[in-house]
């Protein structure tokens, strides 16, 4: 069969294109004909961004023949309440796709019951016997459901999945344990490097494609498509609904609003990869939207991913963009001292931009006013103050984290303190290590460290596969010694662990929030081995970790003074 033609066609179905709004590409809703050949559902299915009455469902329907420019591929979709996708569907329709969106399909499954499991499947409109795997998705609670009736909500929390460094075992383990209800990915879903620049996957058959530093729309599509062939990542997407935000490597290393570590819009910055930063960022963001089951939050602001989900009166899940939106200049390696000076002297310095920062404060206030018990804030980078002085010559703080934006951090802490906002838990990724912090305005200003008014607790997780600076080449005991040094030097840091890759589970109830950390001993082979390295509890109304932290004992890393 000639993959370029002739192009089998048939008239469009009466239902037309009922797919989710496309981030980019052509509008096929008025097409007269659809492709009538075979399709392959090459990357299974996924669901994401659930609220109390809907979630997005996703697939990729790749044609056996590349369809003509004016002929879209049509898929049908159906949503069921039964695990085998049998019986009458609660929702069905058709959606179109084309090369313009890399043959990806997104549909908003609407008018669903809150806090309920659903099952969904796609099929080729022209050949209905060609079906996708059956996916499973879960809606969130209704915003007004009392906290006690919502029950315990369980999340697996991830960041920094780097294909050439190892297998994504961390994604697969909760699918076997059935220990969570939703997944959260805090960014660095992909990495942009060529093989050997940051991870060499040759020996384990995980050489990134295309094998170069990616910069174009085709590059980003190819890279994310390759990541989605990992069987554990693919199965986790099939079984669970995800909340996903991006970090820097989803575009490129050390991304900020006007560039990255190696690209910007100057003549020099455009020449390195042959693509200017603005074009590179637009390509990365477009591919991200095409391949992820995420919503477009604002029609007039395509870069906005920050949004809030109300999980009944139990909690608000507030997802931020501290990386791509309006971040002021970061540490680009050549300017570390300059950014360090800015971090301690520039009061207007911002990680989020004014619009997002104002929205965050309003969202926190509204959460309190509506009677939500908890405020869970998911974002990319380590929030707590982390002093590395003495660990390596010339190293003080990570100015790419909130330590590089101290005024912005203090503004957040001031808002919590001035308004007596309790029960705030921050989730972080990016650093490739595990951390548990308590942060407050008095502590930031060097005042009363026992004042817990407006104090937040931070659970920061290690990477799925990216290495830690104090874990990649060191034995476990030396890595633990570094953790011991760090907790001794940072009194607000309750736990440090950098040796293992992994994830953590967050269990949220009306009475407490528990973070259970899981370590993956081996990522060079595909396996399900793990152990619980630590467990930390926050009781409602206390704004701090229950002492002794982790019961006074962890299986890796180091606790602050025995857990106190």
The yes-or-no verdict on residue 497 having pLDDT over 80 is yes
The yes-or-no verdict on residue 4 having pLDDT over 60 is no
- Convert the pLDDT of each residue in 366-420 to its tens digit: 999 999 999 999 999 999 999 999 988 888 999 999 999 999 999 999 999 999 9
pTM: 0.97
> Distance between CA atoms of 436 and 458, rounded to whole angstroms?
6
- Convert the pLDDT of each residue in 151-202 to its tens digit: 999 999 999 999 999 999 999 999 999 999 999 999 999 999 999 999 999 9
Q: Report CA Rg, the chain.
A: 23
The single residue listed with the structure tokens 């990915």 is 185
The token pair that represents 364 in the structure block? 């926190």
Q: What is the mean pLDDT of residues 225-238?
A: 98
Cα–Cα distances (Å) from 210 to 201, 221, 559, in that order, read 13, 10, 42
| Cα–Cα–Cα angle for 555, 556, 561, rounded to 5 degrees | 90
pLDDT at 25: 81
Confidence of residue 108 (pLDDT cuts 50, 70, 90): very high
* Mean pLDDT, rounded, of the chain: 95
Residue among 29, 48, 269 nearest 137 (CA):
48
pLDDT at 1: 44
Q: CB under 8 Å to 348, separation ≥6 — which residues?
A: 407
- Convert the pLDDT of each residue in 259-307 to its tens digit: 999 999 999 999 999 999 999 999 999 999 999 999 999 988 999 999 9
Looking at the chain, the whole-number percentage of residues with pLDDT higher than 90 is 90
Q: CB under 8 Å to 42, separation ≥6 — which residues?
A: 60, 62, 225
The yes-or-no verdict on residue 69 having pLDDT over 70 is no
Cα–Cα distances (Å) from 458 to 427, 493, 543, in that order, read 6, 10, 10
The yes-or-no verdict on residue 3 having pLDDT over 60 is no
Burial 266-294 (b: 16+ CB within 10 A, else e): eeebbeebebbbebbbbbbbbbbbbbbbb
Domains of the chain: 9-138 (2.60.40.380), 147-563 (3.60.21.70)
Confidence of residue 473 (pLDDT cuts 50, 70, 90): confident
The yes-or-no verdict on residue 460 having pLDDT over 60 is yes
Q: What is the mean pLDDT of residues 204-216?
A: 98
The token pair that represents 547 in the structure block? 């002492």
């Amino acid at each position: 069969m000639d993959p370029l033609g002739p192009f089998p066609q048939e008239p469009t179905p009466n239902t037309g294109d009922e797919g989710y709004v496309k981030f980019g590409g052509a509008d096929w809703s008025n097409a007269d004909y659809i492709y009538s050949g075979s399709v392959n559902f090459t990357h299974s299915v996924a669901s994401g961004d659930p609220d109390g009455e809907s979630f997005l469902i996703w697939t990729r329907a790749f044609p056996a023949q590349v369809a003509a420019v004016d002929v879209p591929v049509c898929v049908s979709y159906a949503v069921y309440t039964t695990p085998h996708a049998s019986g009458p569907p609660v929702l069905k329709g058709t959606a179109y796709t084309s090369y313009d969106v890399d043959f990806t399909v997104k549909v908003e499954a609407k008018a669903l019951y809150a806090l309920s499991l659903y099952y969904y499947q796609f099929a080729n409109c022209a050949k209905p016997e060609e079906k996708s795997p059956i996916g499973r998705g879960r809606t969130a609670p209704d915003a007004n459901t009392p906290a006690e009736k919502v029950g315990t909500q369980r999340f697996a929390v991830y960041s920094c999945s780097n294909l050439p460094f190892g297998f994504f075992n961390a994604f697969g383990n909760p699918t076997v344990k059935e220990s969570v209800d939703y997944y959260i990915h805090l960014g660095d879903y992909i990495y942009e490097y060529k093989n050997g620049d940051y991870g060499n996957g040759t020996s384990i058959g995980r050489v990134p494609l295309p094998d170069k530093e990616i910069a174009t729309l085709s590059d980003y599509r190819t890279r994310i498509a390759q990541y989605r062939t990992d069987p554990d990542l693919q199965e986790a997407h099939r079984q669970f609904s995800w909340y996903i935000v991006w970090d820097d490597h989803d575009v490129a290393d050390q991304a900020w609003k006007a560039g990255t570590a190696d690209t910007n819009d100057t003549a020099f910055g455009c020449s390195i990869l042959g693509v200017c930063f603005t074009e590179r960022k637009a390509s990365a963001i477009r591919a991200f939207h095409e391949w992820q089951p995420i919503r477009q939050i604002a029609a007039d602001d395509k870069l906005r991913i920050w949004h809030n989900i109300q999980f009944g009166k139990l909690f608000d899940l507030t997802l931020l963009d501290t990386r791509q939106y309006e971040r002021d200049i970061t540490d680009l390696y050549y300017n570390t001292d300059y950014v360090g000076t800015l971090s301690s002297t520039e009061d207007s310095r911002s990680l989020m931009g004014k619009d997002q920062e104002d929205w965050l404060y309003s969202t926190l206030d509204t959460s309190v006013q509506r009677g939500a018990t908890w405020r869970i804030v998911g974002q990319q980078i380590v929030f707590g103050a982390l002093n590395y002085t003495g660990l390596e010559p010339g190293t003080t703080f990570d100015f790419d984290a909130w330590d590089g934006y101290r005024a912005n951090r203090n503004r957040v802490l001031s808002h919590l303190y001035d308004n007596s906002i309790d029960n705030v838990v921050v989730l972080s990724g990016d650093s490739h290590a595990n951390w548990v912090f308590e942060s407050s305005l008095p502590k930031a200003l060097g005042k009363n460290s026992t004042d817990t008014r407006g104090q937040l607790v931070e659970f920061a997780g290690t990477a799925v596969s990216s290495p830690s600076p104090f874990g990649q080449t060191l034995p476990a005991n030396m890595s633990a010694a570094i953790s011991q040094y760090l907790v001794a030097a940072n009194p607000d840091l309750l736990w440090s662990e950098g040796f293992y890759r992994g994830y953590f589970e967050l269990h949220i109830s009306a009475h407490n929030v528990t973070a259970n950390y899981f370590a993956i001993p081996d990522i060079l082979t595909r396996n399900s081995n793990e152990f619980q390295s630590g467990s930390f509890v926050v009781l409602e109304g206390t704004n701090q970790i229950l002492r002794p932290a982790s019961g006074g004992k962890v299986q890796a890393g180091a606790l602050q003074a025995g857990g106190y």
